[in-house]
Amino acid sequence: MDTLDNIVIEESEMPHGRKNEYLLVFLLAFVGYLASVDSMLLMPLINEVIKTFHVSAIESTFLVSSYSVMAFLAGILSAGIMDKFDRKNLLIYTFIGFIIGTALCGFAYNFYLFILYRGIAGVFGGIIGGVITSIISDLIPYDRRATAISIISLSFAVAAITGIPFGLSLASVYDIQMPFKVLAVISGLTLFALIVWIPPVNEHLKNIESKKIQFSYAKQVFKDTNQLYALLLAFLLVFGHQVVITFIVPYFENNIGFDKHLKSLMYAVGGIATVIASPIIGKICDKKGNLPSFIILLLLSFIPIWVSTNIKEVNLYLAFGICILFFVFAAGRIIPAYTIMTGATTPEKRGGFMSMRSAFLELGSGVAALVCGLVVSITPEGKVENFNHVGYISIISGIICIFIALRIKVVSNQ
């Protein structure tokens, strides 16, 4: 049976009097795609950032981490309101803020202004993922949710295939601001589709005792050991990935000899492999169980992480083989992990928890960029040094993830 046939959104009425579950899933995936392109766009442009603004390696990571740090703060502060409103309205207003922040980045020709505008984009972009996951979690039962999340998670891979190479091309022809201008225009057009096609998502409001906004919501989450474990898993999972990915392009380009065209192809090849593998992985997770699938995929991901951070010179075919494994296993382990996280809380608290989860994902990304900037150095000749150290850090964080995942209890199958 086709993967999508397993997705049955329990929504009796969709716009225009018909069920549009396929359109809904892919529209939400496209929103995730736009947010993914925006969040990862600067990582393969680290070399260009250093050269354009004449900054050091550690200073360049401030630009990358500003988005993540602000997304973390926004996720923490917004957690108390995420379950108080219709999730469709939350998505629309958050997406509007994201468009504004991204558009501002398109006109940031000063390094410090760029940091400020990336922070503004991060405030809204960091919340989008939590709202999308909450909508999917509300509409799709737990036993089929990994399949749906695998499709949503494809947004990251598709961003690598199309968005990143396209952004790199625009940056090379124009400047590093141009990709953000184009992204803002596309996002503006997508906003109208969200308004028209996304149905109200407000069933969770029936079980809420009080609609009073609780800005102390984070304290409640931290008191729940189960949710705290899920948040720590989110943090360490993305930290282990981003600590490698932050400087992988400069390493492949400066140390191994990839040219600018090959780094675009590297993202594209890895992304295509992930698009093919993710729905299969999602289906396997639904059948075999999310926890055992997560552990196996996490252990397998250590292989390309170690190889990619320790190679000194390599031929093109081996390099792309490593790249494919890195992308597939990195994205693959996220599918069961995210599904486990969605079951760590009840539906009436899911929106706030997902906002917190997105916050910790962004915090992991921001901390990873800063740690990578502190560990890695770039010589006057442009060579990246100590890159193998971030590989070891990534593997250690992955091992800790296994012990944390074993402690998370699924308290809701809805």
Q: Each residue of 248-270: pLDDT tens digit? A: 877 877 787 777 667 677 777 77
Report pLDDT for 102: 93
Q: Is 8 inside any structural domain?
A: no
Q: Is 410 inside any structural domain?
A: no
CATH number of the domain to which 47 belongs:
1.20.1250.20
Report pLDDT for 188: 93
Report pLDDT for 178: 92
Q: Is 47 inside any structural domain?
A: yes
Q: Is 85 inside any structural domain?
A: yes
Report pLDDT for 3: 41
Q: Is 10 inside any structural domain?
A: no
| Cβ–Cβ under 8 Å, residues 329 and 337 | no
Structure tokens at 176: 């590093």
Residue 274: closest CA among 136, 153, 162, 167: 153
Residue 114: closest CA among 60, 63, 171, 72: 63
- 343 to each of 156, 338, 375, how far by Cα in Å? 22, 9, 36
Got the DSSP string for 56-116?
A: -HHHHHHHHHHHHHHHHHHHHHHTTTTTSS-HHHHHHHHHHHHHHHHHHHTT--SHHHHHH
Distance between CA atoms of residues 354 and 360, nearest Å:
10
Structure tokens at 370: 């800063």
What is the number of domains present in the chain? 1
Maximal C-alpha separation, the chain: 64
| Cβ–Cβ under 8 Å, residues 136 and 152 | yes
- 177 to each of 115, 277, 406, how far by Cα in Å? 12, 33, 43
Distance between CA atoms of residues 201 and 243, nearest Å:
36
| Cβ–Cβ under 8 Å, residues 108 and 158 | no
Specify the 3-state DSSP secondary structure of 246.
coil
CA-only gyration radius of the chain, Å? 20
Q: Is 2 inside any structural domain?
A: no
The parts of the chain modelled with pLDDT lower than 50 are 1-19
* Residues paired with residue 385 on neighbouring β-strands, in sequence order: 377
Distance between CA atoms of residues 334 and 340, nearest Å:
10
Q: Count of CB atoms within 10 A of residue 379's CB?
A: 9
Q: Is 63 inside any structural domain?
A: yes
Task: Quote the domain boundaries for residue 265.
Answer: 17-202+216-405
Structure tokens at 351: 């929106």
Q: Is 414 inside any structural domain?
A: no
Q: In 223-298, at which residue ranges do the beta strands (DSSP E only) sit?
A: none
- Beta-carbon-side half-sphere exposure of residue 359 (alpha carbons within 13 Å): 21
Residue 384: closest CA among 374, 392, 393, 376: 376
- Beta-carbon-side half-sphere exposure of residue 316 (alpha carbons within 13 Å): 8
Q: Count of CB atoms within 10 A of residue 243's CB?
A: 27
| Cβ–Cβ under 8 Å, residues 194 and 92 | yes
Report pLDDT for 295: 92
